[in-house]
Amino acid sequence: MIISIKEIRNFLISILIPLLVGYCSSVIANLLSGLDVSTYYSQLIKPGFAPPGYIFPIVWTILYTLMGISSYIVMKKGYDLYKVKDAMFFYWLQLILNFMWSILFFGLDLRFTSLIVIIILLVIVLIMIFKFYKINKVAAYINI
Protein backbone atom coordinates (compact mmCIF):
# COMPACT_ATOMS: atom_id res chain seq x y z
CA MET A 1 0.00 0.00 0.00
CA ILE A 2 1.43 3.34 -1.05
CA ILE A 3 0.72 6.34 1.12
CA SER A 4 0.57 9.67 -0.63
CA ILE A 5 2.30 12.83 0.55
CA LYS A 6 -1.17 14.39 0.92
CA GLU A 7 -2.24 11.62 3.33
CA ILE A 8 0.93 12.02 5.38
CA ARG A 9 0.36 15.78 5.50
CA ASN A 10 -3.28 15.32 6.56
CA PHE A 11 -2.23 12.81 9.23
CA LEU A 12 0.40 15.16 10.66
CA ILE A 13 -1.98 18.13 10.61
CA SER A 14 -4.60 16.03 12.42
CA ILE A 15 -2.07 15.35 15.16
CA LEU A 16 -0.61 18.86 15.30
CA ILE A 17 -3.97 20.61 15.75
CA PRO A 18 -4.84 19.10 19.16
CA LEU A 19 -1.20 19.34 20.29
CA LEU A 20 -1.16 23.07 19.44
CA VAL A 21 -4.54 23.60 21.10
CA GLY A 22 -3.24 22.01 24.30
CA TYR A 23 0.03 23.91 24.18
CA CYS A 24 -1.67 27.26 23.52
CA SER A 25 -4.11 26.65 26.34
CA SER A 26 -1.24 25.99 28.72
CA VAL A 27 0.65 29.09 27.59
CA ILE A 28 -2.42 31.31 28.01
CA ALA A 29 -3.14 29.81 31.45
CA ASN A 30 0.47 30.45 32.49
CA LEU A 31 0.29 34.06 31.28
CA LEU A 32 -3.02 34.75 33.02
CA SER A 33 -2.07 33.19 36.34
CA GLY A 34 1.49 34.47 36.42
CA LEU A 35 2.53 30.96 37.49
CA ASP A 36 3.65 27.91 35.63
CA VAL A 37 0.79 25.38 35.54
CA SER A 38 3.02 22.79 37.25
CA THR A 39 3.73 25.26 40.08
CA TYR A 40 0.02 26.03 40.39
CA TYR A 41 -0.76 22.30 40.46
CA SER A 42 1.83 21.66 43.17
CA GLN A 43 0.15 24.30 45.38
CA LEU A 44 -3.31 22.68 45.16
CA ILE A 45 -4.65 20.61 48.03
CA LYS A 46 -4.80 17.12 46.50
CA PRO A 47 -5.69 13.64 47.70
CA GLY A 48 -2.87 11.15 48.31
CA PHE A 49 -3.59 9.30 45.07
CA ALA A 50 -3.14 12.41 42.89
CA PRO A 51 -0.43 11.87 40.28
CA PRO A 52 2.74 13.95 40.40
CA GLY A 53 2.75 17.07 38.23
CA TYR A 54 5.48 15.89 35.87
CA ILE A 55 3.14 13.15 34.55
CA PHE A 56 0.64 15.58 33.01
CA PRO A 57 2.69 16.92 30.07
CA ILE A 58 3.58 13.34 29.10
CA VAL A 59 0.03 12.01 29.41
CA TRP A 60 -1.60 14.99 27.69
CA THR A 61 0.84 14.82 24.79
CA ILE A 62 -0.11 11.16 24.32
CA LEU A 63 -3.84 11.91 24.70
CA TYR A 64 -3.80 14.82 22.26
CA THR A 65 -1.83 12.73 19.77
CA LEU A 66 -4.39 9.92 20.04
CA MET A 67 -7.23 12.41 19.60
CA GLY A 68 -5.57 13.63 16.41
CA ILE A 69 -5.12 10.08 15.12
CA SER A 70 -8.76 9.26 15.79
CA SER A 71 -9.94 12.42 14.03
CA TYR A 72 -7.76 11.52 11.04
CA ILE A 73 -9.33 8.05 10.88
CA VAL A 74 -12.84 9.56 10.93
CA MET A 75 -12.00 12.25 8.39
CA LYS A 76 -10.65 9.64 5.99
CA LYS A 77 -14.23 8.41 5.55
CA GLY A 78 -14.99 11.67 3.76
CA TYR A 79 -15.97 15.01 5.22
CA ASP A 80 -18.83 15.27 2.73
CA LEU A 81 -20.69 12.53 4.65
CA TYR A 82 -23.21 13.88 7.15
CA LYS A 83 -22.19 11.42 9.87
CA VAL A 84 -18.54 12.50 9.56
CA LYS A 85 -19.48 16.19 9.79
CA ASP A 86 -21.68 15.40 12.79
CA ALA A 87 -18.95 13.43 14.57
CA MET A 88 -16.34 16.08 13.81
CA PHE A 89 -18.62 18.78 15.22
CA PHE A 90 -18.40 17.03 18.60
CA TYR A 91 -14.66 16.51 18.15
CA TRP A 92 -14.10 20.24 17.61
CA LEU A 93 -16.48 21.11 20.46
CA GLN A 94 -14.61 18.89 22.93
CA LEU A 95 -11.30 20.32 21.71
CA ILE A 96 -12.59 23.86 22.37
CA LEU A 97 -13.80 22.84 25.83
CA ASN A 98 -10.42 21.21 26.54
CA PHE A 99 -8.76 24.46 25.50
CA MET A 100 -11.03 26.52 27.75
CA TRP A 101 -10.75 24.30 30.81
CA SER A 102 -7.06 24.90 31.55
CA ILE A 103 -7.50 28.63 31.07
CA LEU A 104 -10.52 28.73 33.36
CA PHE A 105 -9.00 26.51 36.06
CA PHE A 106 -5.33 27.48 36.07
CA GLY A 107 -5.35 30.87 34.37
CA LEU A 108 -8.43 32.50 35.86
CA ASP A 109 -8.84 30.36 39.02
CA LEU A 110 -12.54 29.81 38.23
CA ARG A 111 -12.89 26.42 39.87
CA PHE A 112 -16.67 26.12 39.90
CA THR A 113 -16.89 27.23 36.28
CA SER A 114 -14.16 24.70 35.49
CA LEU A 115 -16.20 22.00 37.18
CA ILE A 116 -19.22 22.83 35.02
CA VAL A 117 -17.05 22.87 31.88
CA ILE A 118 -15.47 19.50 32.72
CA ILE A 119 -18.89 17.93 33.25
CA ILE A 120 -20.08 19.30 29.89
CA LEU A 121 -16.79 18.14 28.36
CA LEU A 122 -17.33 14.61 29.66
CA VAL A 123 -20.80 14.48 28.09
CA ILE A 124 -19.51 15.85 24.78
CA VAL A 125 -16.62 13.35 24.72
CA LEU A 126 -19.03 10.46 25.32
CA ILE A 127 -21.25 11.67 22.48
CA MET A 128 -18.18 12.06 20.25
CA ILE A 129 -16.99 8.54 21.05
CA PHE A 130 -20.44 7.17 20.22
CA LYS A 131 -20.49 9.04 16.91
CA PHE A 132 -16.93 7.96 16.08
CA TYR A 133 -17.94 4.37 16.87
CA LYS A 134 -20.65 4.52 14.20
CA ILE A 135 -18.00 5.55 11.65
CA ASN A 136 -14.95 3.56 12.77
CA LYS A 137 -14.67 1.44 15.91
CA VAL A 138 -10.90 1.93 16.19
CA ALA A 139 -11.31 5.72 16.18
CA ALA A 140 -13.78 5.40 19.04
CA TYR A 141 -11.63 2.97 21.04
CA ILE A 142 -8.60 5.26 20.72
CA ASN A 143 -10.55 7.90 22.64
CA ILE A 144 -11.54 5.52 25.41
Distance CA 121, CA 134 (A): 20
Name the packing angle between helices 82-102 and 55-75 (round to 10°). 160
What's the sign of the alpha-carbon dihedral 49, 124, 92, 24? Answer: negative
pLDDT (0 to 100) of residue 118? 97
Q: Angle formed by the axes of helices 55-75 and 5-33, to 10°? A: 140
Q: Which of 64, 83, 97, 68 is nearest to 130 (CA)?
A: 83
pLDDT tens by residue, the chain, 144 residues: 677 889 899 999 999 999 999 999 999 999 998 877 777 787 888 888 888 888 888 999 999 999 999 999 999 998 889 999 999 999 999 999 999 999 999 999 999 999 999 999 999 999 999 999 999 999 999 999
User: Among residues 98, 94, 103, which one has the least CA distance to residue 125?
Assistant: 94
Q: How far apart are the C-alpha atoms of 37 and 1, rounded to whole Å?
A: 44
Q: Checking phi first, is residue 69 left (phi over 0); if not, alpha (psi -120 to 50) or beta?
A: alpha
Q: In this structure, are residues 84 and 135 in contact, taking their beta carbons and an 8 Å threshold?
A: yes
Q: Is 44 left (phi over 0), alpha (psi -120 to 50) or beta?
A: beta
